[in-house]
Amino acid sequence: MNPAQGPIFNTEEHAQELTILERVWRHPRGIFGWLSFTTHQAIGMRYIVTAFIFLLAGGIEALLMRTQLAFPNNTFLGPDRYNEIFTTHGTTMMFLFAVPVMEGMAVYLVPLMLGTRNVAFPRLNAFGYWMYLGGCLFLYWGVFTNTAPDIGWFAYPPLSGPEFSPGKRPDFWAQMITFTEVSAMCVAAEIIATIFKMRAPGMSLNRIPMYCWSMLVQSFMVIFAMPAIMIASSMLLSDRTVSTHFVNPAEGGDPLMFQHVFWFFGHPEVYIIFIPALGMVSSIVISSSRRQVFGYTAIVLSLIATGFIGFGLWVHHMFATGLPQIGEAYFTAASMMIAITSGVQIFCWIATLWTGRLRMTAAMYFVFGFIAIFVLGGLTGVVLASVPLDLQVHDTYFVVAHFHYVLIGGALFPLFGAFHHWFPKMTGQMIDEKLGKITFWILFMGFNLTFFPMHILGLKGMPRRVYTYPPDMGWAAASGLATVGAFVIAIGGLLFIANVLWSRKHGKLAGNNPWDADSLEWAAASPPKNYNFAYLPAVTSRYPLWVAPEDQVIVTGLRNDRREVLVTTLMDAEPHHRYVLPPPSIWPFLTAVAVTIGFAGSVFNAWYITWGSILSGICFIGWFWPRRPVELEP
Amino acid sequence: MTAEPMKPATLVSTILLLVLNGCAGHQQSAVDAAGPQAGRIETLFWFFLAILGAVFIIVMAAAAWTLTKRHRGIEQEPLERTHLPPPQTETRLTRVVTIATIATVVILFVLLVSSIVTGKGMAEFANSKNPMVIEVTGWQWWWQVRYQNSDPQQVLDTANEIHIPVGRPVMIRGTSQDVIHSFWVPNLHGKRDLIPSRITTEWIEADHPGVFRGQCAEFCGLQHAHMSVWVVAEPGDKFQAWFNSQLQPAPAPTDPVLQRGQQVFLNYACVYCHTIRGTTAAGQNGPDLTHFGTRQGLAANTLPNSMGNLGGWIVNPQSVKPGNHMATIAVNPDDLQPLLQYLQSLK
């Protein structure tokens, strides 16, 4: 059922209402206007496009590394450049691509799926994006001024400390963290508030779309994990700038504490990246198999359990530091438990696909690729959970293979599937399915060619993070193969970009619901209007577009002459009160600039913290200056 | 001494490893165990591989089966109006998924127990009688090695090459002088981090003679790639002979060229960092060179130890191993040859 159909929508009154909505939600004009956007579609798209650019940057860095490692004793890159590049690659992919792109997708999709008009805190949303962009520019400022971090994306002290890394390189790493974490926290807060309080009436907790469940779990994980990395990077930064000796062993600090705090974030980080991807997989599986998902409750509980267990196994990154045996056994067990929750989800999807009417879209190809790669990566993860095995394969290419299987297979393939799945919604045009399937095959083959040999390299004793290796180790063939594979992946990436550009120009018009899918975003126009829905929908089932009564229920009584949305109750999504969202504003951008000045400057001079705080204070006053909700002149 | 561990899947291992690499380079491999510790891990690995491999195949088959019964085409009628298969199908699916989940739990439990049992077996080494204690200290980018002994006369300092007697447990007491390193000789055992201001321990034992390569496994800066160590496992008597000869101070040279070389060494800045026992050179910031001529490699085994390589290394260490901490000393060309000959004579 499409809520935009039916007799009442054809009246003149309706046309008038639409004009008013258009005007209220119109984007401000001009360059300042562009910097003031607060609609979730615009911000979400900015996240996605920016993150995609940094995926390309990280990809280029990967190609440079693979070129260096193609032959033994290669001199394409020296050790210094190589260390900068592998650090920047990891940092970019984790902080500037994977997390933000998942956040961007959520900012775009969650309000649509929930049947509301925007996220709960539109200005915070805009601020979060500008902070993320600030972090991107900050790190790459370092890259282009020969101050790219060269201490690994984990930045273990004392190597990253002032004694062994003079200069500013680790400071750029540590402060970039602050930027992106501020951004991640902003998104997490607003996603949680949006999902808890702004669902369409009738969308009780047991009717939330699977993707929104995954984002809810992910956002809570962000809120608990990100403070840990901010503590770790701040300890490192203050050791470096004001000699606090938190993690300096020479002065009684403890470098292992840094590792604990870092991995308390670092392991959940993996789930922060791939739990949203699991939600995407669920969405694609449901709409492509054209049946209700099998085991909704089991999948949701598995997601939640993953969120909890994910915090209990960071120590498996530190087995080689030598812990007491009983502690190790605990963390082995916890690490293996993750395989149960992941397994349940895989089983439920396969069961859904078995009994559905499967339609093999390009997105579905990526889902099958995801199942193959992610299961293999999960199984090698079980190997890493075992202490004795981990002692051998830890910090070798086996681990490199493992986490690329988990992250590329577990997050990037679903993400590409999601791009193909939601492209019609985001642009209003169909993406070329045939090219999409060719892209899949190239990426799938290139991926396995690159990363499968790395399992064997690791078992044959090749450590990670080496800029070169001797010819007589027997590593050259597999290494060369991996390099070839990396370039195949690059071809797949270029093909995807070409497909997007071509389809933007020549793609068929999509219509509201080209896949005949189940969730509310497909009831909105493609691309969605700034206000998403002319009338906010009410839902009566878990699959509102599939299982709906003959008369679509809609929300009435909201004022359209200001940015008003409906707030509903937490459990049952009963209408609670009306909530006016603020109009567009330049202040989030200006605040982000002020904070950026403080963060970036403090790397060079502690006084910038003062200047940045004063400027931010001024900006916050502007941001929160009380005023009446903007109403249209009649 | 423990019996040689079984290798139930040697065939699979050989095939897997031959597929890509031929049979070169087994001196640094986690799946070519040369001692009980690595042997236990290797056995456990093949056990894991067999079970997890089977799981992978089953899951892939289940996923692929969905493809055999699909109904193509967007215009196809969806499942009834409810988008739900009949209830009996759902019941059957519930049963299948429940069984699969229970199987997952059971398999993981088996793997967990086998892993813990292996770990306990390896930990029993800590009760070994009469172990040999070797202190390994990581430096950017070389290994300092000290054979500990309650008798100070029997304490031996060396670097980058460790000899151990076959069949005798050896305790590696590791620490670091600067950043975190990780000591890893895969044919003998997994890795153990070397952490400044802490001491970590690891027990190794070789069950047959051989030469095994190890490499730093924790990223430690510019030359992380060139920080390797040789472990030479020898029969007891051969080891003892090596040990006794290494304990001796360097003999005073009699040949005039070598005497000249020794003077060169002592007059240049070499002495600030290097020790040659039996001379006045007692620097503590670089590898002990007392028996340098017996070692297989130089610059932490970046290069094989030969006269030519040594010359290149001393004249321009930065070209061989960029970023390393050895000072570049302008050696007078006339002095170089005697110096090289003297160093190579330190047997």
The complex's ipTM? 0.93
Nearest CB to B104 within list A333, A340, A357: A340
Decide: residue A301, CB within 10 A, 0-12 exposed, 13-18 middle, 19+ buried. middle
Domain assignment of residue B302, yes or no: yes
Q: What is the mean pLDDT of chain A?
A: 93
Domain assignment of residue B9, yes or no: no
B-chain CB neighbours of A463 within 8 Å are 184, 215-217, 224
pLDDT > 90 fraction of chain A, expressed in percent and rounded? 87
Query: Across residues A340-348, what is the average pLDDT?
Result: 95
Q: Which of B191, B221, B247 is the last residue of a domain?
A: B247
Residues B188, B110 share a domain: yes
pLDDT on residue B6: 41
Element (H, E) at A332: helix A325-355
Count how many domains chain B has: 2
Residues B261, B243 share a domain: no
Beta-bridged to residue B229, according to DSSP, are B214
Q: What value does the CA radius of gyration of chain A take, rounded to a whole number of Å?
A: 25
Residues B317, B204 share a domain: no
Cα nearest neighbour of A296 on chain B: B94
Q: Domains in chain A, please, with CATH?
A: 36-547 (1.20.210.10)
Residues B243, B294 share a domain: no
Residues B150, B108 share a domain: yes
Residues B307, B278 share a domain: yes
Cα nearest neighbour of B94 on chain A: A295
Residues B335, B240 share a domain: no
Q: Which domain holds residue B206?
A: 26-64+82-247
Out of A434-443, A573-582, B93-102, B121-130, pick the least confident.
B121-130
Which amino acid type is present at position B18?
L
CA B150, CA B172: separation in Å to the nearest integer? Answer: 16
Q: What is the DSSP letter of A509?
A: B
Most B CBs within 10 Å, among A86, A87, A347, to test the B interface: A347
Q: Which residues of A, range 211-270, sit inside 8 Å of B by Cβ? A: 249-250, 255-256
Residues 6+ apart with CB under 8 A from A614: none
User: In Å, how far are A73, A397, A553 from A393, measured between CA atoms?
Assistant: 23, 8, 57
Question: Model confidence over A169-204: pLDDT tens digits?
Answer: 999 999 999 999 999 999 999 999 999 999 999 999
Residues B243, B263 share a domain: no
Domain assignment of residue B19, yes or no: no
A-chain CB neighbours of B18 within 8 Å are none
* CA nearest neighbour of A94 among A472, A497, A513, A412: A412
Q: Which residue has the tokens 């201490």?
A: A151
Under 8 Å CB pairs connecting chains A and B tally to: 285
Residues 6+ apart with CB under 8 A from A561: A20, A24, A631, A632
Any alpha helices (H) in A198-254, and if so which ranges? 210-242
Q: Which residues of B, range 246-285, sit inside 8 Å of A by Cβ? A: none
Q: Which of B247, B278, B302 is the last residue of a domain?
A: B247
Domain assignment of residue B4, yes or no: no
Decide: residue A434, CB within 10 A, 0-12 exposed, 13-18 middle, 19+ buried. exposed
Within its chain, how far is the Cα of A617 from the centroid? Answer: 30
Distance from CA of A216 to the nearest CA of B (A): 25
pLDDT on residue B9: 47
CA B117, CA A414: separation in Å to the nearest integer? Answer: 38
Domain assignment of residue B162, yes or no: yes
Flag whether residue B129 sits within 8 Å of chain A, measured between CB atoms. no
Tens of pLDDT, residue by residue, chain B (347 residues): 344 444 444 445 555 555 544 444 478 999 999 999 999 999 999 999 999 999 999 999 999 988 886 554 444 455 556 788 888 888 999 999 999 999 999 999 999 999 999 999 998 988 888 889 999 999 999 999 999 999 999 999 999 999 999 999 999 999 999 999 999 999 999 999 999 999 999 999 999 999 999 999 999 999 999 999 999 999 999 999 999 999 999 989 999 999 999 999 999 999 999 999 999 999 999 999 999 999 999 999 999 999 999 999 999 999 989 999 999 999 999 999 999 999 999 98
Distance from CA of B186 to the nearest CA of A (A): 6
Beta-bridged to residue B298, according to DSSP, are B303
Residues B149, B47 share a domain: yes
Give the Cβ contact number of residue B59 at 10 Å: 21
Domain assignment of residue B176, yes or no: yes
Element (H, E) at B193: strand B192-194
Residues B266, B223 share a domain: no
pLDDT on residue B1: 38
Residues B38, B153 share a domain: yes
Q: Which residues of B, range 289-328, sit inside 8 Å of A by Cβ? A: 322-323
Residues B278, B225 share a domain: no
* CA nearest neighbour of B235 among B299, B168, B316: B168
A-chain CB neighbours of B218 within 8 Å are 156, 320, 395
pLDDT on residue A628: 72
pLDDT on residue A496: 97
Is A391 close to B322, i.e. CB distance below 8 A? Answer: no
CA B309, CA B297: separation in Å to the nearest integer? Answer: 10
CA A459, CA A389: separation in Å to the nearest integer? Answer: 10
The CATH number given to whatever domain includes residue B140 is 2.60.40.420
Most B CBs within 10 Å, among A76, A159, A405, to test the B interface: A159
Domain assignment of residue B39, yes or no: yes
CA B184, CA A352: separation in Å to the nearest integer? Answer: 46
Question: Model confidence over A114-145: pLDDT tens digits?
Answer: 999 999 999 999 999 999 999 999 999 999 99
Is A360 close to B220, i.e. CB distance below 8 A? Answer: no
Is A391 close to B191, i.e. CB distance below 8 A? Answer: yes
Q: Which of B247, B268, B286 is the last residue of a domain?
A: B247
Domain assignment of residue B129, yes or no: yes
Q: Are A83 and B222 in contact (CB under 8 A)?
A: yes
CA A101, CA B304: separation in Å to the nearest integer? Answer: 48
Distance from CA of B25 to the nearest CA of A (A): 4
Q: Starting at the earlier edge strand, list the strands of the sheet with B228-234.
A: B161-165, B228-234, B210-215
